[in-house]
Amino acid sequence: HSVKMFDASANRALSGSEIMLCTLFSLRVLWFIWWLDPELTYGNAKPFVFTQGHSVCNRSFFPCFDTPAVKCTYSATVKAPAGIQVLMSATQSTYLEEEGVYQFYMEYPVPAYLVALVAGDLIHADIGPRSRVWAEPCLLPTAISKLSGIVERWLTAAESLYGPYIWGRYDIVFLPPSFPIVAMENPCLTFIISSILESDEFLIIDVIHEVAHSWFGNAVTNATWEEMWLSEGLATYAQRRITTETYGAAFTCLETAFRLDALHRQMKLLGEDNPVSKLQVKLEPGVNPSNLMNLFTYEKGYCFVYYLSQLCGDPRHFDSFLRAYIEKYKFTSVVAQDLLDSFLNFFPELKEQCVESKAGLEFERWLNATGPPLAEPDLSQGSSLTRPVETLFKLWTTEPLDSVAAASSADLTKWRTFQTVLFLDRLLDGSPLPHEVIKKLSECYSSQLDSMNAEIRIRWLQIVVRNDYYPDLYKVRRFLENQMSRMYTIPLYEDLCTGTLKSFALEIFYQTQNQLHPNLRKTIQQILSQGLNPLPAIDTTAVTTDTPAMVLEDKVSEATNGAISLRDVNVSA
């Protein structure tokens, strides 16, 4: 099917730019089309395939202008074997059963990276008037129980803030643990890793973030990858406005405190003068734009947008501006100056005050200075949730240790997930801890944490590893034996290989490698090979040298380690 492409930012057709897109299920393209044998799915029943286009990966999928500056509509014909459900990020679809042919059409212009395909043993259930969830049969009941009814609540809240949802349907598909990132905001069809289903609060934030991208990123897109914050910073701000409307300011402040903690942790590792901490980062020739994606893109971008909202005096006034911004630029791509000029024109009184040149907070400095945000949000409305975390952390890290007082000061089983991970992250930052402290921590919390979600458990297990606490190492083994997701394996393998437990890591890897996707196996093999003789060859058929796994591994920086992992970033592109 021909795809007519045009430059949406210039609102003109691109002459001679019809390309052919014919996607066959049997086509075996390497690199960013991920082919999974049945054993790598949850159901172990049928093969599975998905694409991941962000940021410049869809050029391996179909011929295209692989830049966010160019948008197009598209149509696609996909042929698949009987019993394989095919989905795409499209507004319309039909299925000719007798021919096994699916036809898709996206009626609104989108950048190439938002064209997405998934196919496998997928079934669906409606969870709202314009939403359904797709998952493997064994996962569908869990997905329904987690999301039924509430996605519409989030969409309605977003519409009240930023105007109509323009994409028609908002469906969600849960992918196997080989999906290399947490979530991807493909229009009409959000991709989310199934591993996150057990972590309710992370699931909430991840889906709401993708909902926010329907306005910021999908409707209005950054024209260059050097300004990814225009999508991620604005989407993070919108996500937090939505959570404030639906769950209250305290919860939003808690989640923000957790993310800003991670930002400062990354800053400490990278150094304040690292150029990747700029919002307008320079993309050198030959560099994959995904390598520039980090917490600064999200959280420093968010802090700048939050600062702009505070200049207005009332966030509702800023909401009105963002509605007008979306209406003016929807289906086009923009640069930072478009946003800032629109902001000053919408608020002429601020333009008269020359807020863009306020000493120390100049817009230009926000964009081009390295280091932390020039200003951070007031999170005092979350103190009822963050203060207990600070108190407990202080009790456990003040000498001499009063373990009785520390153990009795809080019941982690009654805490929110974000409280517990914030506490554990701070313990992780302080590791290695005195042996008496880690021993008492294990006695107080280890059995409680065993029954909690993976976001909590992995942090406790990283603490165990970094403190060489051998009594709990069997839990590390058990965790890795049951995980196939990079976000729950890579951080632990990195920590195991940094310390004295590399042989333990090797043993686990050799026992579990067959249940891992080849790309993930290769990444772990490279971690394990550092400082050792080359490991025996592993079958990595269909894995290229520059695999998606390794590109994602570079997203933060070579300077990072297990303390900063992709689970610290809502990597939704």
Binding site, annotated residues for Zn(2+): 209, 213, 232
d(CA 205, CA 458): 19
d(CA 446, CA 458): 12
Which spans in 381-472 are helix H? 383-397, 403-408, 417-429, 435-450, 454-466
Phi, psi of 114 (to 5 degrees): -95, 5
Residue numbers in the known binding site are: 209, 213, 232
Catalytic residues: 210, 298
Which spans in 89-199 are helix H? 140-147, 150-162
Looking at 194-345, which runs of residues are DSSP E strands?
A: 220-222, 332-334
Determine the straight-line distance between the first and last CA of the chain, rounded to whole angstroms: 27
The answer to whether 47 and 35 are in contact (CB under 8 A) is yes
How would you write 339-374 as a 3-class SS string? HHHHHHHHCHHHHHCCHHHCCCCCHHHHHHCCCCCC
d(CA 61, CA 112): 10
Strands 117-120, 48-51: parallel, antiparallel or unpaired by DSSP?
antiparallel
Residues in CB range of 400: below 8 A, 6 or more apart:
none
Looking at 25-130, which runs of residues are DSSP E strands?
A: 33-36, 48-51, 71-79, 85-88, 92-96, 101-111, 117-120, 123-128
For 144-174, letters b (16+ CB in 10 Å) and e give bebbeebbbebbebbeebbbebbbebbbbbb
Q: Residue written as tokens 């289903």?
A: 197
Residues in CB range of 500: below 8 A, 6 or more apart:
468
d(CA 480, CA 476): 6
Do you find a cis peptide bond into 548, omega within 30 degrees of 0? no
d(CA 535, CA 526): 9
Phi, psi of 379 (to 5 degrees): -105, 20
Neighbouring CB atoms inside 10 A of 314's CB total 10
Q: What strands, in cross-sheet order, belong to the sheet with 171-175? A: 123-128, 131-135, 171-175, 189-193, 183-184
